[in-house]
Amino acid sequence: MADKKAQLIIEGAAPIELPVYSGTLGPDVVDVRSLTSEGVFTFDPGFMSTSSCESKITFIDGDKGILLHRGYPIEQLAEKSDFLEVCYLLLKGELPSDEEKAEFTSVITRHTMVNEQMKSFLNGFRRD
């Protein structure tokens, strides 16, 4: 449910009430989905103030150079975490403990085996 409401007033028409949602990070968002049923569209060249989806995984503010995954700055993840730790973070919501990482790595490794018949299949292709 929306935290707040915004009212769009267009001369000669009844006011349109729109839900306003508070983001976990960043500015509030006005949900304009109902405008099409009112015969009104939004105009936002380049989608500069448009949120395309709700995400609990990623936050982006291009103007400020911010990219967060699950609240962690991408620079921190790139410097201090490996690929599988970031995979775990994206899937589970938190970075893994040493024990969780070992178990996750084991599961992933078991699923990376390539069937021997793939060799024959791939040998059927030309090298170029």
- Note the pLDDT of residue 1: 59
Provide CB contacts within 8 A for 115, sequence distance 6+: none
The CATH number that domain 1-42 falls under is 2.20.28.60
Counting residues of the chain whose pLDDT is more than 70, the rounded percentage is 98
∠75-69-61 over CA atoms, to 5°? 80
What's the token pair of residue 123?
């040998």
Question: Does the pLDDT of residue 24 top 80, yes or no?
Answer: no
CA atoms within 13 A on the CB side of 84: 14
Could you tell me the pLDDT band of residue 2, with boundaries at 50, 70 and 90? low
Beta strands 4-8; 58-61: pairing state:
unpaired
Question: Does the pLDDT of residue 19 top 80, yes or no?
Answer: yes
Domain-wise residue ranges, the chain = 1-42, 55-111
pLDDT digits (tens, 9 = 90+) for 33-59: 999 999 989 888 888 788 777 888 988
User: Structure pTM?
Assistant: 0.67
Question: Does the pLDDT of residue 101 top 70, yes or no?
Answer: yes
CA proximity to 61, closest of 78, 49, 76, 53? 49
